[in-house]
Amino acid sequence: MDSVIIASPTETHTFDLSQTPVRAVNAYLHHSELPNGHKVAIVNPNGAHNLAVGIDTVIEVEIHGHTGYYTAGMNKQAIVTLYGNAGTGVAENMMSGRVHVKGFASVSAGASAHGGLLVIDGDAGLRCGISLKGADIVVGGSVGSFSGFMAQAGRMVICGNAGDALGDSLYEAVIYIRGTVKSLGADAQFEPMTEEDYAIVQTLLDQASLPHTPQDFKRIASARQLYHWNADANQEY
């Protein structure tokens, strides 16, 4: 780590992953001496896994190309923009900051994310927002089955459609969806939108630069029937 050379605050430091290993790139991104607002560009990722993970600095990272598993996982403070598609678990366990996928995302996008904002311009695969713990997720397209599964806190805005079991076993997270839902999961239900809901959706759409109208969205939240063990249910839920 001591051998990492820090670029000046005014220049964009560029890494070519066809020449530099992921480990070296992440070592640079983890360096405590990076100045706030510093910009890093990464080219030729070629599906690399674990790229730009664990950042804990107020910097901006641009990735030009497609990536593999866990891109920008455990992000804290940084703004990471991916000009391509992301593999499994993009922004997994994110704590704060912003991760923006300009393409599509594979399964488990934003899994267990505690804070910050994840924006996906295209579609997201299965289990988007699984075990969400406080972050906001905005999907410009559709999501796969079991999205929002066991989401405990946070908000999801889905501008397209959803597959089976949306919001299965929801806790306090809220899902807003513009399109159709193939089916709701256990303990998830549609609820009336309030003025506060419309304001929340508008704010998140603005942050994601999406043009939709909040009045076109529906609210899905927990019916709160699974919060407590019911001995009389005979395992029938």
Ordered by where they begin, the domains of the chain are 46-226 (2.160.20.60)
Residues of the chain above pLDDT 70, percent: 92
**Residue 1 confidence (pLDDT):** 40
Q: Is the pTM of this model over 0.75?
A: yes
Secondary structure letter of residue 196 according to DSSP: H
What does 89-135 look like in DSSP terms, one character per residue? TTTTT--SSEEEESS-B-TTTTTT--SSEEEESS-B-TTTTTT-EEE
User: pLDDT value at position 167?
Assistant: 98
Write down the pLDDT at residue 236: 56
Note the pLDDT tens digit of each residue in 33-86: 899 999 999 999 999 999 999 999 999 999 999 999 999 999 999 999 999 999
Q: What confidence category does residue 131 fall into, taking pLDDT thresholds of 50, 70 and 90? A: very high
Residue 5's pLDDT band, with cuts at 50, 70 and 90, is: low
**For 173, what's the count of Cα atoms within 13 Å in the CB-facing half-sphere?**
33
Whether the Cβ atoms of residue 121 and residue 139 lie closer than 8 Å to each other: no
